[in-house]
């Protein structure tokens, strides 16, 4: 069942989304060579706890950490570790989710670590652009598949590929709600968008082929051809006035 939220519920979701945005902004400022993904996780955990919120990922189906931190060929769900040190030229995807006042926010960003290759910079730019192309579609009367079509069309024009195995999702009083939001497909299909629907839209884009696999830890998804991957995500509400990005960052985070 797809739930449409009231105006007051959307305001509460904006509170959760704002917190997630602030955490991501703070984490982005700490991304640098020599930092470990465990350092970033500890920072996020403290920030979320101090806000009186709950880390959405920690304990979710047994996931052991507050954030997902995925480096280079890791697509999503990378588990933070004190042994994972960021190096010059890496790219890191950071995914943050939090529950505040009974409602969830979910957002992700992929960042360069120092100077990165031209291909890496282009991948990050194309994936972030694809997210905003998708968000432009979020208007009453459009279809769920219009979102994925916008993503696929944009990134494939760059010669990149869209991950098929993982998709975006509805979000509200639970982290994952209906509907699923693929990042590919033909337009004009699936549920029609209506005021009050809230979607976590999250393009996952590979520099090489789309195939991925999950590592032995049961969480970390990587590209099968070891090509770089990027992941951007916002929680977005459907309103009569157009898309409302509930996880908008008031302080922009440069990715290039």
- pTM, 2 dp: 0.96
Residue 256's pLDDT is 42
pLDDT of 184-215, one tens digit each?
Answer: 999 999 999 999 999 999 999 999 999 999 99
pLDDT at 253 over 70: no
Q: Which residue has the higher pLDDT, 254 or 96?
A: 96
Distance CA(201)–CA(192), nearest Å, equals 16
Sign of CA dihedral 153, 157, 162, 167: negative
% of the chain surpassing 90 pLDDT: 97
102: left (phi over 0), alpha (psi -120 to 50) or beta: left
pLDDT at 221 over 60: yes
pLDDT at 252 over 50: yes
Sheet holding 212-214, edge to edge: 74-76, 221-223, 212-214
pLDDT at 255 over 60: no
pLDDT of 92-113, one tens digit each?
Answer: 999 999 999 999 999 999 999 9
Q: What is the mean pLDDT of residues 25-35?
A: 97
Work out the pLDDT band at 250, boundaries 50, 70, 90.
Answer: confident
Distance CA(67)–CA(141), nearest Å, equals 34
- Residue ranges of the domains in the chain? 7-245
Fold (topology level) of 7-245: Creatine Amidinohydrolase (3.90.230)
Residue 140's pLDDT is 98
pLDDT of 115-166, one tens digit each?
Answer: 999 999 999 999 999 999 999 999 999 999 999 999 999 999 999 999 999 9
The overall average pLDDT reported for the chain is 97
Distance CA(170)–CA(236), nearest Å, equals 9
């Amino acid at each position: 069942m797809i739930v449409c939220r009231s105006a007051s519920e959307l305001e509460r979701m904006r509170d959760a989304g704002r917190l997630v945005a602030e955490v991501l902004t703070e984490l982005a400022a700490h991304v640098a060579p020599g930092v470990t993904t465990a350092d970033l996780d500890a920072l996020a955990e403290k920030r979320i706890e101090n806000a009186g919120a709950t880390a959405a990922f920690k304990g979710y189906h047994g996931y052991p950490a507050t954030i997902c931190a995925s480096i280079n060929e890791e697509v999503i769900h990378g588990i933070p570790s004190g042994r994972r040190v960021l190096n010059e030229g890496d790219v890191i995807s950071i995914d943050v989710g939090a529950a505040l006042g009974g409602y969830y926010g979910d957002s992700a960003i992929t960042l360069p670590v120092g100077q990165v290759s031209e291909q890496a910079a282009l991948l990050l730019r194309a994936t972030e652009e694809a997210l905003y192309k998708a968000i432009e579609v979020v208007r009453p009367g459009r279809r769920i598949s219009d979102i994925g079509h916008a993503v696929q069309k944009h990134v494939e024009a760059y010669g990149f590929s869209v991950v098929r195995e993982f998709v975006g999702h509805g979000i509200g009083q639970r982290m994952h709600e209906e509907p699923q939001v693929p990042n590919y497909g033909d337009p004009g299909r699936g549920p029609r968008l209506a005021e009050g629907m809230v979607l976590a839209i999250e393009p996952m884009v590979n520099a090489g082929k789309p195939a991925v696999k999950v590592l032995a830890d049961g969480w970390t998804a990587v590209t099968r051809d070891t090509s770089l991957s990027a992941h951007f995500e916002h929680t977005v509400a459907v309103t009569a006035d157009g898309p409302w990005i509930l996880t908008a960052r008031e302080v922009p985070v440069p990715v290039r």
